[in-house]
């Protein structure tokens, strides 16, 4: 499992979410958006996205769960992304290349917000 967390300053959650979805889905022919969940309460917004893609290196599918949160009146978006999968071992992971590559795709997507 690999994790990436960040605070994106000066952007609205919907804008950050759109950039992430576009870059992840167009970054790999096997990438898919598996499910979504959005909540809004008292001006605070939370979005969850679960992506999957095939990892050529690991020979299996890797998932990426992305959670975005923006508090009411805030100009900052908090991001937590966790990648999992990417190993064929039964009891422990022997490689995490696919997970790390998925997170790197996300990090590169965030550069479009600068």
* Domain CATH number, residue 33: 3.40.1000.10
Say whether pLDDT at 6 is over 80. yes
Which tokens belong to 38?
A: 């959005």
Say whether pLDDT at 100 is over 60. yes
> 44, 69 in Cβ contact below 8 A?
yes
Average pLDDT, the chain: 87
Say whether pLDDT at 28 is over 80. yes
Which tokens belong to 114?
A: 């600068």
For 17-70, give the DSSP string: HHHHHHHHHHS-TT-EEEEEEEEEETTEEEEEEEEEEEETTTTEEEEEEEEEEE
pLDDT above 90 as % of the chain: 57
Q: Residue 22 is part of which domain span? A: 2-113
Looking at the structure of the chain, the number of domains it has is: 1
Using one digit for the tens of pLDDT, what is the confidence trace for 35-65? 999 999 999 999 999 999 887 666 678 899 9
The predicted model gives 63-87 an average pLDDT of: 92
pLDDT above 70 as % of the chain: 83
Say whether pLDDT at 72 is over 80. yes
Distance CA 24, CA 64 (A): 10
pTM value? Answer: 0.86
Distance CA 8, CA 79 (A): 8
């Amino acid at each position: 499992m690999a994790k990436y967390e960040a605070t994106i300053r000066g952007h609205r959650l919907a804008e950050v979410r759109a950039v992430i979805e576009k870059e992840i889905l167009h970054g790999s022919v096997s990438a898919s958006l598996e499910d979504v969940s959005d909540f809004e309460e008292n001006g605070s917004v939370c979005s969850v996205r679960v992506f999957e893609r095939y990892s050529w290196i690991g020979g299996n599918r890797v998932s990426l769960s992305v959670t975005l949160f923006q508090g009411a009146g805030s100009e900052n978006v908090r991001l937590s992304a966790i990648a999992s999968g990417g190993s064929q071992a039964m009891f422990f992971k022997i490689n995490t290349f696919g997970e790390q590559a998925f997170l790197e795709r996300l990090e590169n997507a965030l550069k479009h917000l600068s």
